Amino acid sequence: MRVLWMAVVAALVLCVDMSAQEAEGIEAVMQFLGVDSPEELDAADVERLEDFLERPLRINMVPQSRLAASGLLSPYQSVSLSDYRSRHGNVMSFTELAAVDGFGQETVRKLRPFISLESQGLHTVVMEPLHDLAVKTAYKATWNYGLKYRLRTERLTVSIGTSKPYSISSVWPESYTGSLSYDFRRIRGRVVIGDFNARFGQGLALWNGAFMNSLNSPDAFMKKSSGISETFSFTGSPALTGAASSFHVKQFALTVLAAIPGIKTVSAKPDKVLLKPAANLSWRGRYGQISVTHVMELSGWQTAYVRIPSMRTSSDAAFCFRGVNLFGEAAYDWVYQNIHAVAGTDFRIGEKARMATLLRYFPSKYDGMAAQHGVALSGAFGSQQSRHAATLTVDAVSYVEPKDKSVSRSIQAKILADWKYKVNDHWNFKLRISERLRTWGNHYRTDFRADVSYGYGPWLMNMRINALRCEETGFVSYIEEGRKTSDMSIYLRQGIFFVDDWEDRIYVYERDAPGSFNVPAMYGRGWFANVVASVHVTRSIRLYARASYVGYHFMEQEKRKPGKAELKFQMVFRF
């Protein structure tokens, strides 16, 4: 009966859709990554994209190497844009950018919050130094703090960061991070030393950070590789530490790197220090790219007893023909002697519909994931009046090894139906239903969520009802009021939760200062409240403050947990 009900709802959702409106903040991040819920975002991706929201990428003023390293553009988009700039000069409008090969109106709409068309004259590439400094501190039974600073010029970027978490009692910070990158002028290339990101192809050979993202919409199926890029965070996690360089000759690019995983914890775990060399050779054209990546790990490299716990070679390709994206990657594992592969496509069906497919073949464990074979399908549909938007996604996986002794085969399917309706310029409604079906354990996990938002000028209000059925039934509901102007913003949220079993826990995204991604799991019975505020003290200085409390007053006395309170401050300098 439950599956039939889900099928009926999905069929209704497929009948409606809309073109999403220009967004800001976390909504812009979600739209860019193709995720319908902030609870499913990766913290590192949010931190990276929030940085571009505060400091948009100046696409008219940075070299091609920095365009590609941003991760905002696909490899062939960065090549196409650089070629267009060399022939026609600066891009003067977003309409002009949409006409550049590989872009289009929909792509530009999602890119717009993260990029800037700022320039200092036709064909002129001059970029004054930019400084970013953020200092934060918070108290929750004990103190934590963090600091990060970045200097960025046209060619040079230097950043440092440090932080102390709640978990240590020492006053000294626990983590340190820093990087230096330089983009060469006469030879097209860049060098990065310190902490850096390395992301190639679809991630089968080398992709630091979250490898598997939530497949919520067609936009999430194809990864946008960035090659090597510097980091800017309080902790440097999950960056690689070492040195990397990339050089371009005509349409070819060669990247080599040497990372040392575990070097930051050498005093605590000297046996975990590895040497990780890698190389990538790619060809990039205006309509696609092909590359080969080789990466290996060496343990005991400081001694004569060298072992190779991991070594992979992959080949990937991505092309766009008349709006149809074709992408894939195959990687050979030299240690386990097998091949892992992903392949997919996304394309438009008419003006207001888009489809995507993705196949996964992992015959053995892969970066912490169980061996599996999977297929995912997704469709996004829109109405002509742009009042309705809908997405339907199905992701099915068959695991090579059974998850439970009671079943011969372990199969899982996730079904997500999402519908948005714009009532008018002030009211918006969103309905999200997801179902997880399994052949083992809890066979069903149904998540129902309804959101209503209201906006009038600087004022806004958001309401949510979230019910989840797995072991038992969990429930979360909240209401949020806020006011946002160019100089200040303040948001107040109050809610209740009734979740008696850990399997029914519900994650709720909460607003925070830039660089902090907060998604607590609601478990137990109680209430929560938080207030988040920011204010521009001057043009260059912005202050953030957050106060939150979680109380468990609805639980029985003998089971009641102590409440949790937190107070946080952050100051950001941008000049």
Q: What is the pLDDT of residue 301?
A: 67
Alpha-helical (H) ranges within 146-195 are none
Classify 117 as helix, strand or coil: coil
Among residues 262, 280, 275, 342, which one has the least CA distance to residue 310? 275
What is the rounded CA–CA span in Å between residue 207 and residue 276?
13
Res. 123: pLDDT tops 50? no
In the prediction, which pLDDT does 381 show? 92
Interacting residues of 528 by C-beta distance below 8 A, sequence separation 6+: 478, 493, 494, 495, 496, 497, 522, 548, 549, 550, 551
**Does 401 map to a domain?**
no
- Return the pLDDT at 11: 37
- Given a cut of 70, whether residue 570 has pLDDT beyond it is yes
Axis-axis angle for helices 43-54, 26-33 (nearest 10)? 120
At residue 98, what are phi and psi to the nearest 5 degrees?
-65, -25
Give the least confident one: 214-223, 307-316, 477-486, 530-539.
Answer: 214-223
User: Residue 413: pLDDT above 70?
Assistant: yes
Residue 540 lies in a domain: yes
User: Rounded distance, CA 421 to CA 12, Å?
Assistant: 13
Look at residue 181 and tell me if it is in a domain.
no
Pick the range with the lowest mean pLDDT from 77-86, 243-252, 500-509. 77-86
In a domain? residue 574: yes
CA distance 344 to 218: 10
49-74 residue pLDDT tens: 888 998 899 999 888 888 888 889 88
User: Residue 14: is its pLDDT beyond 60?
Assistant: no
H helix runs in 14-69, sequence order: 26-33, 43-54, 64-69
Q: Is residue 475 part of a domain?
A: yes
**What are the CA-CA distances from residue 335 to residues 45, 259, 296, 332, 451 (Å)?**
30, 20, 10, 9, 48
- Please say whether the beta carbons of 211 and 238 come within 8 A: no
Q: How far apart are CA 575 and CA 113, in angstroms?
A: 20
- Number of C-beta neighbours around residue 64 at 10 A: 21
Q: How far apart are CA 228 and CA 188, in angstroms?
A: 14
- Spatial distance between the Cα atoms of 367 and 207, rounded to a whole number of angstroms: 10
Asked if 179 contacts 196 with a C-beta cutoff of 8 angstroms, the reply is yes
Of the candidates 118, 131, 112, the residue with the CA atom closest to the CA atom of residue 53? 112
Identity of the residue numbered 294:
H
CA separation, residue 211 to residues 21, 42, 203, 341, 366 (Å): 28, 10, 6, 13, 10
Banded pLDDT at 120 (limits 50, 70, 90): low
Poorest-pLDDT segment among 8-22, 155-169, 396-410, 464-478:
8-22
Return the DSSP state at 213.
-
pLDDT for res 22:
54
Residue 122 falls within a domain, yes or no? Answer: no
Pick from 556, 568, 555: which is nearest to 522 by CA? 555
In a domain, 534, yes or no: yes
Q: How many domains does the chain have?
A: 1
DSSP assignment of 164-176 equals E-TT--SSS-SEE
Q: Using CB atoms within 10 A of its CB, is residue 572 exposed (0-12), middle (13-18) or buried (19+)?
A: buried
The whole domain housing 512 covers: 457-575
Q: Identify the pLDDT of residue 180.
A: 95
pLDDT digits (tens, 9 = 90+) for 152-203: 988 899 999 999 988 888 888 888 999 999 988 778 889 999 999 999 999 9
Q: Is residue 179 part of a domain?
A: no
pLDDT of residue 490: 96
Q: Calculate the alpha carbon distances from 70 to 63, 111, 517 in Å.
A: 11, 12, 20
Residue 128 reports pLDDT greater than 90:
no
What digits encode the pLDDT tens for the residues 22-41? 567 888 888 888 888 888 88
Can you give 473-501 as a three-state secondary structure string? EEEEEEEEEEEECCCEEEEEEEEEEEECC
Tell me which of 260 and 68 has the higher pLDDT: 260
Structure confidence at residue 20 (pLDDT): 38
Q: Would you state the pLDDT for residue 453?
A: 95
CA–CA gap between residue 322 and residue 547 (Å, rounded): 50
Is the previous residue joined to 238 through a cis bond, with omega within 30 degrees of 0? yes
